[in-house]
Structure 1
Amino acid sequence: MGKSKNRGKNAADEDSSKAISAHSNGNSNGSVVLRSATAAAVEKTSQDGAPPRSSLKRDVVPKPVKKHVKKKPAIGLSWAIGAICAVILAVGGYFIYLRVQERRVVTPFAGALIPFDRSYKNELLWGTYRPGVYFGVRSRTPDSVEMGMMWFSYNAHQLFLRHLCDQNDKLRYGWQQHDGRSFGYQEIIDDAVNISTTFVKRHNDQTNDWISRIAIGATASASNSKKNDTPKPTTGLFLYFDWRTRGSSNPFYSAESCRDHFPFCCLPKVSLLRRLFSLGVAAKSGAGLKLVGHTTQTPNLIVLELAVQPGFSLDVVYEPMRQETTRSNGLGSWKTPPLDTLIHAKKQAFRDKFHKVFQLIERGYNDEQNEFAQRVFSNLIGGLGYFYGESLVVSQWSSTPSKYWTTGLFTAVPSRSFFPRGFLWDEGFHQLLISRWDVGLTREVMTSWFNLMNADGWIPREQILGDEARSRVPDEFIIQNSEYANPPSFFLTIESMLDSLDPDRPDEVDKTLKFFEFAYPRLQAWYNWFNATQTGSLIGSYHWRGRNITTERELNPKTLTSGLDDYPRASHPGPEERHVDLYCWMAYGAGVLARVAEEIGENPLPYRTAELYMKQQERLDQLHWSDKHGFYADFGRHTDAVRLERQQAPRQLKPGQPAPQMPKVRVVDRDPKPGFVNALGYVSLFPLMLRLLDPSAATLGHTLDHLRSPNLLWTDYGVRSLARNSALFAAHNTEHDAPYWRGAVWINMNFLILKALKFYGEQPGPFQEKSQRIGQELRDNLVQNMYRQYQKTGYVWEQYVDGEGRGSHPFTGWSSLVVLIMSDF
C-alpha cells in the first residue's frame, strides 16, 4: 500500500496455518504453518585519524613585508560579477524548479486519504482476489500468502499446462455464482475434465477463516462415452502456496505427510512458476507428476502435487493461529455445520438476493435467461482483485520514467484472460452494476482508486501493479503519461449511488455520504486537473491529449486517452482540435459534482454554474454541431482523402537478393482543412448519451433519426460505433491494426444510449414516444443477441460485429451491463 496508506497486516494473520485434506481412494493429510522470524541489523563504525600537526622553524628571520594598497575594482567588473551570480542563481533555480516538477508527478495528493471501512477489515480481507489465474486466493495485504492452482491435462500426444487465464487455452470457464464477499462457485471445462472450484467464508466479522474446495469430474460427453474400456482421464493437479516475504516465515509440513507431496522451491516471484513447469522441471511418472529437486534454503513456495482422476475432491482450509486455539489437522471447526450444508446455503442465498435485486423473472425472462444473467454478473464481481506494486510514469518535466509510490489497488478487471488489471474508465462502468448489488464493495473500490491520485489531481489510467500483472503487458503500454487523461466514468457510478440512496437503510446512506465527504476534495482536484490540462484553444472547448502528431503508419492517429482508441478524429492532430465527447464528460461531471456538494452540505454553485453554461444549446451547437453533416462532431484539421500504401522497395539490390517486404504508410491525397470531422458514430451521440440535450431540441430529433437508421448506426444486435457511410468504417488503422471502434457494437455505449432513451422517454416533448419505442427495440436486440452468442460460444464478448462475438473473451467487464439492461437499470 502507499507510504501514507499502509495499514499493516492483520495481526490475526501474522501467524497462520493451512490444513490440506485430500479425499480420494486414499487420503493424505498435511499442514503448513508460518512462524514469524526477525532479523537483527549490524552497525559498523569507524573513526578517522587526526590530521598531523605542523612544525615551525624558529631560527628564520622574517623579511620585511611591503604594504600593498587595495585598488577599487572597476564598476564594469562589479556588474559582470553580479550578472554572473544572477545567471548562476537563475539557472540553479530553474533546475530546482524542474526537479520539483519532476517529483510532483509521483507525489501523493496532499489531502487526507479516504479511509477504508474498518468494519470490512475481516469481512473483505480474504477473497478470490487473483482474477488473472483460473483459481487463486489472497488477502488485501501487500505480504499476503497466495494460493493458486495449476494442472496438466495430458494424453499420448500432448501435455497442456493451465495456470494463467488465457483465451488461447480454449476452455469454457467462469463463475456460476459469486457474491463478492463470502462465496464463489466456478466450473472449468477442459476437454474431458470438469474442474469445479468453491471458495467459502463463514461470514463471521470476527474471523478470517475460509475454505477452498477443488473437485475433479468428467464432462458429460466423457461420462456418456459408449466405450466402457476407455481409461479415465488423469489430471496432474498442483496447488501452490507462495510467501511474498521470503525469509520472514518458516513453513514446515506435518510428520504424517509424505515429502514427495510437498516440494519446496525458492523463486524470486510467483510469475516465474509457469515457466518453471514449462521448462520441463515437472516430469510424468506412474505415481504422479514429480517436481524435480528440493531446496535446503528457506522456501517461498510450497507445491502440493497429485495425480487425480474424476471423483477426486480436495479441501484447503485456512484458519489463523490464535493464542487461545490450537492448530487443527483437517476441517477442524468447519465440521459444524457440515461444509456441504454451508455451500448449499450460500448458493441459495445468492439466488435469493439476485432475484430480489434484479427481478428478472418478473420482467418476463425465463429460467435459462435468468441463469445466464447470474453467471455474467458473477464473473464481473468474481473478477475483483487486489494488486500491489508501483506504476511507471513520465511527465513533460522528465525524460525517463519514475516510479509512482508503492501502493495497493482493489478493483474489478475487464477480462480475466486478456485484461486482468485495473483500467480507470472501465471501472466506472463496472461499479454501475456492482453498486446495485453491494454499494459497500463499490465504496471500497472507489476508495482504492481515488487514493491513487497525485498532487496535481491525476490518476494513472491503467494500473499495472506487481510482477504478475506486468508480466502480461507489452513494454510499450507499461509507462503512463501524467498529461494523458481517461474518461471520468466514475461520475456515472457516483450519480447511480446518489440515485440509489435508500431511506430504508439509513446505515448505508450514512456510510455513502461519509464516503463522499472524504472523497469530495479529490473529486474536485480530479475535475480541476481536466480543466487545467485538457482544455481546447477556444474558451469552453476541450481536447484529448496524447495523439501522435508525427505518425506515418496510422491511417488516423489513435486517441487512446478517450477510451475510444481508433475512433476517427481529425486526420491531422493539433492544438485547434475540439472533442465533443470530452466536452460532454465535463458538462456531465460538473452536474454530478454539484449534486454531491448539495448532499454533503458544500457549496454547489461553481459546478452548477459550469454545468448550466456548458448545457446551453447555443454553446454546445456553436462548438460541435455541423450543419453540413447534420450531427455533432469533432473539429480539427481534417481530410477524408487518406489511405495506406506500401512503400517501394529499394531499387539498388544485389544480384539474387529478394526484395524486402516494405511496410504500408499513410498517403494524404488532399490537404487537410479546418472543419468538422465527417464521422458519425458514438462521439456524435455523446450529447444524447450524457443527456445534455433539451427534450424539445431539434438536434435531439436528428440524433434519434441517425441512431435508428439501418443505413447508418442501427443493427439488429445494437447500435454500432461508426456509421456505415463513414470513410473509415471497418478500416484497418495500420497494416496489422484491425478496426476496433469502427463499426462494432459495444455494450457500455449501448447502455448509455438506453439510459438516455429512457430519460427522454419520460420527458414531455416531441420526441418522447420515439425515444420509448427505440429504447424498447434496442433493449430486445441487445439482450437476445448476447444471450444467443453465450449459448453458442459459452462467452460474453468484448464487442459484437454482425451479431458475432469478437475481441477478448470472456469479457465480463462492462459487457456485463447486459444484466442492468435486462433489469431496466
Structure 2
Amino acid sequence: MFIVVGVAVLLQLSSLITAEVEWGTFRPHSLIAVRATAPHSPFFGFAYHAADSLNIRHVTNDNQNAIASFSWSRHDGRTFGDQEIRDVGLNLLVKTSFLNHPTHKNACALRVAAEALDQSKPIKPISLVFYAVAAPEELDPRTNKVSKTDEGEWGSLGFEGLPYLSDEGLRDDVRIVGHANSIGGRYSILLKQPSLGSLSVTSFSEPTKTIHAGGASGSRSLIRSRADKPPDPPNFLSNFHVSSSVAQPQTAWAIEKILSKALVSRSLTTDGTKSLYVLDDSVKESSPGAFVQRILQPPFEIDASFVLHENRDEKTINAIEDDITGDNLTSHLENRRNVFDNKFEHVYQLNKKGLNEQEQVFAKAALSNVLGGIGFFYGSSLVKTGLDTNGLSHKNVVMLPPISLFTATPSRVVFPRGFLWDEGFHQLIVQSWDPALSQKCLLSWMKVGQDNGWIPREQVLGIEARERFPEHVRHLMVQDPAVANPPTILMPLYTLLSNGINLSTGDRVEDDNADDGERNLDLQKFTRSILSPSIRYYSWLKSTQSGHIPDSFRWRGRSDDISSPDGYPLTLASGLDDYPRALAPNSEETHVDLHSWMAWASWALSRMSLSAGDNTSATEFLTEHRKLKSKLIEIHGKAGETGDDHLDYLMCDHDGMDKVCHIGYPTILPLLLGLLDPGDKRVGAILHALQDPSLLRTRAGIRSLSKSDEWHRKGNDYWTGSVWMPFNYLALAALRKKYSIQDGPYRFQAEKLYNELRKAVLENAFNVYMQTGHLWENYSPDDDGHGKSGRQFTGWSALVLLIYADKFNLVIS
C-alpha cells in the first residue's frame, strides 16, 4: 500500500484557472479521441482494424511498423483539428477532424474518413469501432481500489432506446447516453449512418472460377461455374453492431485489449473459408464503456457528435447535433481551416518571408502537432522519500494525492505526458500562437509544485499513464524530490510577461475562441500570482542543488549505480542524460550548465518581479544575477585562460580538483543564455567551437558533444553528439538577439554563423520531414542528418517554426 503525503494547494493559482470544462483532443496518446479538461472526464473516439484481423489501431504506438506517420496538418489548440494517418499496412489514408461547436459550448464532433493510399492496390474492408468510456482515472490512494464515493464523477453510460437486438445489428443511427458530474451532468453521443462506404458486393465474394471445355471442333469455350452476379453479402455487414464493455472500471481505458475480446469471428461463406470480426450485439443497462462498430469499404466517412444536455430541450439538442454532422460539419470545418490559415500568416508571416508552399505546410504541421499534443491528465505521482548519505532519496515510495495537469507533451508516441524541462520550450511555441492557452498550461504546471517549491520532473499521472509506462525504463516513473531539472519553465513565464502581452488579446485574432474569463484576466494579477511559486521553485533549486563552495551548483542524482552502457555515470537531472561528466561522482563537483541556468533564472526573476511591481525583489534578484555571473567565470573559466588556444577559454565542469572539459552543450550554454559580455574572449572561444566541424559544427546544426571527444557517440548515443533543436534554437537566439547586433570584436563572426546555422538547421529538419513525415527527437550529427530516437517528436523539435518566423522571444539575458 502507498503512503499518502501532503501536496501544495495554491489558491491564488486555482482562482486564475478557469473551472469551465473544455472539450478537445486532450488524450494525445490516442490516435482519434476527445475528452474534457476535467478529472474523471468521459472520453470517446475511434479505433480501427482490417475486418478480418484483430490488429487494432487505437493508441499511437500500435502497429508502428504499419503506420508510417500520423500528423495534425492544422490544429488551433482549442476549436478544431485535421489529422492524417498514413497506414501503409492497410493501404489506408485515414483523415480525422475534430470540431467544437462554433457557438454552443460543450458540444463537439469527430469525423473519420478513409481512402486507399495507393489506388492501384487492393484494400480490405475496414472495421471502424467507435468507443465511449466512463471510468475513473485514478484509484483511491489509501486503498488502491476504485473510490465508491467518487463514482458520480465519471458516472455511467449506455445505449438509448435500442430495439430487440439480433445478430443482424442496427440499421439506424446509434445514440449513447450518459451522466457524469465531472462534466456537468447528462450527455448524449450520436453516431450517424456513414455518408460513404457502402459495401461492395465484390469485396466479399470469392473469385469467379472459370472452366475450359473443349468443343466439337476442338476449340475451347468458357463456362462460368456460378452466376455472373456474385451473391449479396450477409445482411449483418451493412448495419451497426454494438456491445457494452465487459471491463472493470479501472481497466476500461485499455480499448485495444477489451475490443479484441469483444469481437467474434463470423463466417461469410457456408463453408467457413472467409470470416470477419464483428461485435456480438449484446448490451447492458450500464457499463464502463460502449462500442459501436461498422464494417466499411473505403472510401468512407462517418460522423459522431457529443452534446452536454445542460438546460437544453430535446429540440435544441437535435438541432445542435444536426449542425455538427453531415454537410454542416463540412462547412464548419472548411471555415475553421480558412481562419487557421489566415491567422497563421498573420502571426508568423511565412508567406511574406518567401517560404515555399511545402515549407509552409511543414511549419503548420510543426505548430499543429504541438497544439494537438496538449493533454489533460489527472492522477497521483509516485515519489521517493528518505535520504541516503549522498542526499539521494531511496527509502519509501509514496503516492501523492491526485492532481490535474494541462500540458503540452514531447511526443504522442514516446512521451505522451508532461515533462518539466521540455515544457519550457513547448510553451514558447504555444504562446507565440495563443498566449491565453499558454497561460493555462503554465498556471497548471506551477500549481503542481510542492510546498517547498519542488516540481516533479516527469508527470506520470493516473492509472493509464502508469500502466502504459515503458517497462524497460519503469524505474524512472518514480520521482525523486532530491533531483531537479533545468528551470526552463521560467522561460515562457518570463517571456509572456516581458513581451508585454495583454492576455485579453495578445497575438490573437477576433475569432480566436477565448472565453470572457480569459479575455478579462489582468496581466499584473497573473504576474503577482505566478511570481510567488516561481520564486519558491528557484529557492528550492538553490538550496538543494548548491555546490560545496558558495554560489556554485551541482546536479544531484549522479551515482555509479545509474550508468551508461559504457559504464560512466548518467546525469538525468541535467536533462542531458548520457552527456559525460566526471567519471567518479562526488560532492565537490560543480556543473557549468546548472550554474548557467541559475544565473539566467535569477535575471528572469528580476524582470518578472519588475512586471509584478515588486521592486525590492527585482533589485535582490538582479544583484544575485550579477554575483552568479561573476562566480560562473571565477569557478568554471579560471584555469588555463592565459594561453592563445581557443579551447583554453571554454568554461567547463570541475570535479573538485581539476577542470573536466567535454566540449558540448554545457560549455557553450553561457553564450546560449546571453551570460557573456560581447567583448569577452570566451565568446570568441565558443564561436570557434560552434564553427569548427571537428568540434561542434554539423550539416544538421550544432552537435551536443564535440566530435573530438573520446565519448563522442558513446553511452546511449543520445546527448553524446546528436543534434538537438532546443540548444540550436538558443544558439540562434543568442546570435540573433545579442552577439550579432551588439558592438564587440566577434559581431560579424556571430552574424555569419547565425545565417549559416539557421540555414543548416531548417534545411535538415525540412528534408527529413519530407522523407519521413516526422519531426524527430534529435538528428544524426554525421552522415545525412537523419532523424534519431523518437519519431513523431513534435515537442521542442517544433521550434523550427519560431526559427522560420524569427521569433526568439527575448529568452536570453
Fold match (TM-score > 0.5): yes
User: Aligned to 1:304, what secondary structure does the other structure show?
Assistant: strand
One-letter amino acid of the structure 1 residue matched with residue 724 of structure 2: W
Partner-residue secondary structure (3-state), 1:528:
helix
TM-score, with structure 2 as normaliser: 0.78
Residue segments in structure 1 that go unaligned for 5+ positions in a row: 1-101, 638-672
Q: Which residue of 2 aligns with 1:614?
A: 628
Corresponding residue number in structure 1 for 2:60: 165
Note closer, same or farther for the CA distance 1:202–1:276 as it changes in structure 2 (3 Å cut): closer
Classify the secondary structure of the residue corresponding to 1:262: strand
1:340 aligns with 330
User: Counterparts in 2 of 1:38-187, with a 5 A limit?
Assistant: 106-109=5-8, 111-115=10-14, 117=16, 121-122=20-21, 125-153=22-50, 160-166=55-61, 167-187=64-84
What is the Cα deviation at residue 139 of structure 1?
0.3
Question: CA contact under 8 A between 2:159 and 2:285: conserved in structure 1?
Answer: no
Question: Which segment drifts farther, 171-180 or 509-518?
Answer: 509-518
In structure 2, what is the Cα distance between the partners aligned to 1:336 and 1:120?
Answer: 32
Deviations 1:413-468 (A, max 9, x none): 10101111110000000000100000101110011111111111101100011222
- Alignment equivalent of 1:267, drawn from 244, 247, 257: 247
Counterpart CA distance in 1 for 2:524 and 2:267 is 60
Residue equivalent to 2:726: 748
2:350 aligned partner = 360
Q: Is 1:198 equivalent to 2:197 in the alignment?
A: no
Alignment size in residue pairs: 670
Alignment of 1:313-324 (within 5 A): 313-324=301-312
Cα distance change of structure 1 residues 338 and 774 upon mapping to structure 2, 3 Å threshold:
same
Letter in 1 for 2:633: L
Contact 2:242 2:279 in 1 (8 A): no
Structure 1 position 116, deviation (Å): 5.8
Alignment of 1:530 onto 2:530: no
The answer to whether structure 1 residue 406 and structure 2 residue 396 are counterparts is no
TM-superposed CA distance for 1:218, in Å, is: 1.7
Q: Secondary structure at the match of 1:213?
A: strand
Name the residue aligned to 1:252.
159
2:454 maps to: 458
State the TM-score, normalizing by the size of structure 1. 0.77
Q: Is the 8 A contact 2:54 2:260 kept in 1?
A: no
Q: Secondary structure at the match of 1:480?
A: coil
Contact 2:404 2:444 in 1 (8 A): yes
Query: How many angstroms apart in 1 are the aligned matches of 2:720 and 2:7?
Result: 38
Deviations 1:197-219 (A, max 9, x none): 11011343x62111111112222
**Matches of 1:391 and 1:282, distance apart in 2:** 38
Alpha-carbon shift at residue 677 of structure 1 (Å): 1.2
Number of the residue aligned with 1:497: 496
Question: What aligned pairs does 1:511-522 form with structure 2 within 5 A after superposition?
Answer: 511-522=522-533
Aligned in 2, Cα 1:182/1:726: closer, same or farther, shift over 3 Å?
same
Q: Which residue of 1 aligns with 2:773?
A: 794
Residue 393 of structure 1: aligned partner: 383
CA contact (8 A) 1:138 1:145 kept: yes
1:820 maps to amino acid: L
List per-residue Cα deviations over 1:38-63 (Å, max 9, x = no partner).
xxxxxxxxxxxxxxxxxxxxxxxxxx
8 Å contact kept, 2:252–2:288: no
Whether the 8 Å CA contact 2:724–2:777 is kept in 1: the answer is: yes
CA distance, structure 1, for counterparts of residue 56 and residue 266 of structure 2:
13
CA distance in 2, matches of 1:551, 1:178: 40
- Superposed CA deviations along residues 525-547 of structure 1, whole A, max 9, x for unmatched, are 10000111000001110000001
- Measured in 2, the distance between the counterparts of 1:110 and 1:235 equals 49
Task: Answer with 1 or 2: which has the greater Rg.
Answer: 1
2:806 corresponds to which letter in structure 1? D
The CA deviation string for residues 265-315 of structure 1, in whole angstroms up to 9 with x for no partner, is 132323433223446854365496323584646311000111111132111
Per-residue CA deviations over 1:581-606 (Å, capped at 9, x if unaligned) read: 11011111111111111111112121
Return the match for 1:820 from 780, 802, 807: 802
Which position in structure 2 is the counterpart of 1:95? none
Change (3 A) 1:172 1:285: farther
Aligned-partner SS, 1:557: coil
Residue 545 (structure 1) aligned with residue 556 (structure 2)? yes
Change (3 A) 1:324 1:238: closer
Residues 563 and 614 of structure 1, relative CA distance in 2, 3 Å threshold? same
State how far apart, in whole Å, the 1-side matches of 2:416 and 2:749 are.
40
Distance 1:571 1:381, change over 3 A: same
Pairwise CA RMSD: 2.5
Distance 2:562 2:334 in 1: 58
Tell me, yes or no, if the aligned pair for 1:151 and 1:163 is still in contact at 8 Å.
yes
CA distance in 1, matches of 2:525, 2:483: 30
Q: Give the 3-state SS of the residue equivalent to 2:735 in structure 1.
A: helix
1 CA distance for matches of 2:744 and 2:399?
54
Q: Aligned with 1:196: secondary structure?
A: strand
Using a 3 Å threshold, how does the CA distance of structure 1 residues 686 and 324 change in structure 2: closer, same or farther?
A: closer
CA distance 1:508–1:683, change in 2 (3 Å): farther
Q: How far apart, in 2, do the equivalents of 1:795 and 1:551 lie?
A: 31
CA contact (8 A) 2:600 2:675 kept: yes
Give the 3-state SS of the residue equivalent to 1:251 in structure 2. Answer: strand
260-269 or 689-698: which moved more?
A: 260-269
Aligned equivalents of 1:560, 1:196: Cα separation in 2:
38
Q: Which one-letter code corresponds to 2:750 in the other structure?
A: S
Q: Does 1:210 align with 2:105?
A: no
Conserved? CA contact 1:174–1:379, under 8 Å: yes
Instruction: Tell me which residue corresponds to 2:359.
Output: 369
Report the equivalent of 2:604.
Answer: 592
Match of 1:241 in 2: 132
SS of the counterpart of 1:396? strand
1:85 alignment counterpart = none
The separation in 1 between residues aligned to 2:529 and 2:267, in whole angstroms, is 59
Tell me whether 1:685 sits opposite 2:668 in the alignment: yes
For residue 405 of structure 1, report the CA deviation from its aligned partner: 1.4
Deviation at 1:120, TM superposition (A): 7.7
3-state SS of 2:711 partner: coil
What amino acid is the match of 1:755?
A
> Per the alignment, in what secondary structure is the counterpart of residue 340 of structure 1?
helix
Q: Compared with structure 1, are the counterparts of its residues 699 and 324 closer, same or farther at alpha carbon in structure 2 (3 Å cutoff)?
A: closer
Q: Which residue does the alignment assign to 1:68?
A: none
Q: State the secondary structure of the residue aligned to 1:305.
A: strand
Q: Which residue of 2 aligns with 1:630?
A: 648
Query: Which position in structure 2 is the counterpart of 1:699?
Result: 682
CA distance 1:551–1:121, change in 2 (3 Å): closer
Return the letter of the residue paired with 2:347: V
- 8 Å CA contact 2:304, 2:325 repeated in 1: no
SS at structure 2 position matched to 1:703: helix
Equivalent position SS for 2:290: strand
SS at match of 1:456: coil
Q: Which amino acid aligns with 1:776?
A: N
Name 1:303's counterpart in structure 2. 291
Aligned AA (2:662): A
- 1:318-376 deviation per Cα after TM superposition (whole angstroms, max 9, x unaligned): 11113341165583344799221111100000000111111111222111101110011
- State whether residues 570 and 634 of structure 1, in contact with CA within 8 Å, keep that contact through their aligned partners in structure 2: no
* Cα contact 1:548–1:558 (8 A) shared by 2: yes
The answer (yes or no) to whether the contact 2:777–2:788 under 8 Å persists in 1 is: yes
Verify the 8 A CA contact 1:631 1:680 in the aligned structure 2: no
| Cross-structure match for 2:710 | 727
Q: Against the structure 1 CA distance between its residues 817 and 198, is the aligned structure 2 distance closer, same or farther, given a 3 Å change threshold?
A: same
Contact 2:562 2:570 in 1 (8 A): no
Contact 2:409 2:415 in 1 (8 A): yes
